[in-house]
A and B are shown apart, each in its own frame.
Chain A
Amino acid sequence: MTAQLTPSLAACPGCLVVPRDAVDETPEAARLALSLPGIHCQACISTVEAGLNAVPGVISARVNLTLKRALIEADPDIHARDLIPVLTGLGFEAHELDPGVLAATQSDKAGRDLLMRLAVAGFASMNVMLLSVSVWAGASDATRDMFHWISAAIALPAIGFSAQPFFKHAWTALRVRRLNMDVPIVLALVLALVTSLWETSLSGEHAYFDAALTLTFFLLAGRYLDYRTRAVARSAAEELAALEVPRAILLRDGVESEVAVGTLSIGDLILVRPGGRMPVDGEVVSGQSELDRSLLTGETLPVFAGPGTVISAGEVNLTGPLTIRATAVGKDTSLHRMGDLVAIAESGRSRYTSLADNAAKLYAPGVHILSALSFVGWYLYTWDLRTALNIAAAVLIITCPCALGLAVPAVTTAASGRLFRRGMLIKDATALERLAQVDTVVFDKTGTLTAGTPQLTNLGDVPRADLELALALAEASAHPLSRSLAQAAREAGISPVEITDIREVPGFGTQARYRGARVRLGRPAWVGATPSAITTAWLDRGDGAPRGFHFTDSLRPGAAEAVQALLDAGKQVLLLSGDTGGAVEAVASRLGITDWVAEALPDDKVEKINSLTDQGHRVLMVGDGLNDTAALTAAHVSISPASALDAARVASDIVLLGQDLTPIAEACEVARRATKRIRENFQLATLYNVIAVPLAVAGLATPLIAALAMSTSSITVSLNALRLR
């Protein structure tokens, strides 16, 4: 019905013939979003914008440096894959983002709402403060009353608008019979307004309109800071989710079509090309290839896959095209189920209560009791309801947690801003406080400490003739081992020999003819060698004695520095990996880690972390694979790199945005200092309460003292937080 009631946009009667939906579907400019992790300066903005605008079909491009993102309006036939090479050519790393996933952050309604309330509170408090200064300076009688009435006229609507978030939170807490920080705030605001109005109508001396407004202003400032920190984290988290634009090639009656993963259903035939990631759980129907399972199991050696092999979502197809039949799609894939399990485990895990919550729990009842006691005391002493109420209101206003409301948000904003600039993203509000307590760091190997790209280790041991032959064979394949072998050989100045009939056998290796003999480079079983524990590619020279090329994972940049810095800081460092012993030992010895465990199953990792926790250690887990997710949840605090699987990123408290691991050590240090600042801020707030509260209870607090005490404590707390930047 509603659709028919909406007035038509068409101006002429003839246009009404066109159905509305058809009008809406006219091709409009495509909106593309690209993530640009590398941009940092003005020159980058100009280069990127100029480069994108020069592409024919691009209508406009604008870089957002805060979010490190470019938004592009372009003709509908322009795709992100056309633009990424342009930026790569200019020297910028670019990734496509899914605009659908990002849409949620485009309109920042809540933040804008808070900012408006903050502006109104600021405007009102400035004006009321001007009037109050005149009163404090000595305005009396009719003038003072007039100033008070004008203040009331400004303050009542301003607080009615600005303080709504506090009213709402306090009400939701009271409805379930609980106390939170907002209850004393709202009580103080209401009591201050009521007594001030009462005083004004009786032409009394003390009115607290300015105090009520500055209180609202400072607390809103705290709320806004808090919101901004979390908004940055959330938008970056959404960006991470949007990075994987999920598409799959669907085979229907032999016709290939590219569809979104969400539209796949069980039984569909899906083609996965070499280099592609499995979109669903399924079974191989045809084709032979090798699978990279390192993200799921931690093993670095590729696994053979042929018809009948069961595959799960997230594995990477390496050498040959595979046709798979989907057995589980979308939310039912093992990958997603793991993510969901982690989410459940997380909501069930005993929530760490932050320092602020602990403080609030003590604070709210204490303030109310103190205020009630002073009301009763003064009423019994003077039998004057007006005086007693005035003093109770003064106590509530003075003790109101301005500094407490600012202490934690100001510090966490400063700290997470600093870490964000270093490439770390704090997802959880209490992650910093937990990170500060860490004394043991557990690393995963594959994909975390190592980049997952193999490096040839025994180049010097292989005769030159073999290398020339191996290079010729390796250059015919895109397998990661072949590519690494070819690169290493080329760098060593080797040139390939002439070979003929080169053919890549998916799942096995490359084969060719050299001087009449059949030569092969590939899996051990294929060339007739015995498999070894180390990642090895075998060369069969046609004489029956295969030669092995050994590989080891290359370390991630900053891995050695991060481990060294953590050891220097007196932390215990462990390496837990699902990979084979030889590979783990090699990495551990290169990094100077003495304590390592190989071939650890996901359960072993959890068990190890739990036993460390039982011994009283606070564990930081750094991992990226599906086999780490449970361990990430079990640890006190967890970090995962942005290249990790969705499930692992969901499970971790902190996400590393760049390739570099060095910020981990710095994060521990920043977290420690942030916690120290928070404690200092609490001490400052307490100190000022210790001075001001007795004055209020004794009935000596004038609005001037309340305003002074409140502002100085808020400002000192904010300045103290800024020392972290």
Chain B
Amino acid sequence: MQVLTFLIPISLLLGGLGLAGFLYTVRSNQYDDPEGDSRRILNDEWDDYPKP
């Protein structure tokens, strides 16, 4: 049972990291254009060279 004292905080921490990441994406307007973003990955403008 000793292991639980590590595992529970760790699971909470990892979940919390995910939550924080999600909140960050919400705050930085990443859900404004889901339709367009899903198409933009097909854009070949930057394929061969990284974005300057």
Interface residues of A (CB under 8 A from B): 41-42, 45-46, 63-67, 112, 115-116, 119-120, 123, 126-127, 130-131, 143, 146, 150, 154
Contact = CB atoms under 8 A, between A and B. Distances in A.
6 A-B pairs closest in CB distance: A65-B36, A42-B39, A66-B35, A123-B19, A65-B35, A64-B33
Interface string B13-52: 0011011001100110001111110011011010000000
A127 B43 contact: no
Contacts of B1: 143
6 contacts: A46-B43, A64-B36, A65-B39, A120-B19, A127-B15, A143-B4
Contacts of B23: 116, 119
Contacts of A116: 23, 26
A66 B36 contact: yes
A112 B35 CA distance: 18
Interface residues of B, number: 24
A182 to B, nearest CB: 24
Task: Tell me what chain A mostly uses at the interface: helix, strand, loop, or mixed.
Answer: helix
Interface of B: 1, 4, 8, 11-12, 15-16, 18-19, 22-23, 26-27, 31-36, 39-40, 42-43, 45
A64 B43 CA distance: 15
A126 B11 CA distance: 10
Given A112-B26, A119-B19, A42 B40 contact: yes
B33 A66 contact: yes
A119 B26 contact: yes
A119 B16 CA distance: 11
Given A42-B39, A64-B32, 6 more contacts: A63-B36, A65-B36, A67-B33, A112-B27, A119-B23, A150-B8
A65 to B, nearest CB: 3
Contacts of B31: 115
Given A46-B45, A116-B23, A123 B15 contact: yes
A115 B26 contact: yes
Given A42-B42, A130-B11, A123 B18 contact: yes
Nearest to B19: A123
Contacts of A112: 26-27
B22 A127 contact: no
B7 to A, nearest CB: 10
Contacts of A67: 33
Contacts of B39: 41-42, 45, 65
Contact of B12 (A41, A119, A127): A127
B37 to A, nearest CB: 8
Nearest to A107: B29
A560 to B, nearest CB: 32
A708 B32 CA distance: 34
B51 to A, nearest CB: 14
B47 to A, nearest CB: 13
Nearest to B22: A119
Contacts of B15: 123, 126-127
Contacts of B18: 123
B8 to A, nearest CB: 6
Nearest to A63: B36
Nearest to B21: A119
Contacts of A64: 32-33, 36
Nearest to A150: B8
B15 to A, nearest CB: 5
A197 B27 CA distance: 34
A464 B42 CA distance: 56
A45 B8 contact: no
Nearest to B8: A150
A130 B4 CA distance: 13
A60 B27 CA distance: 22
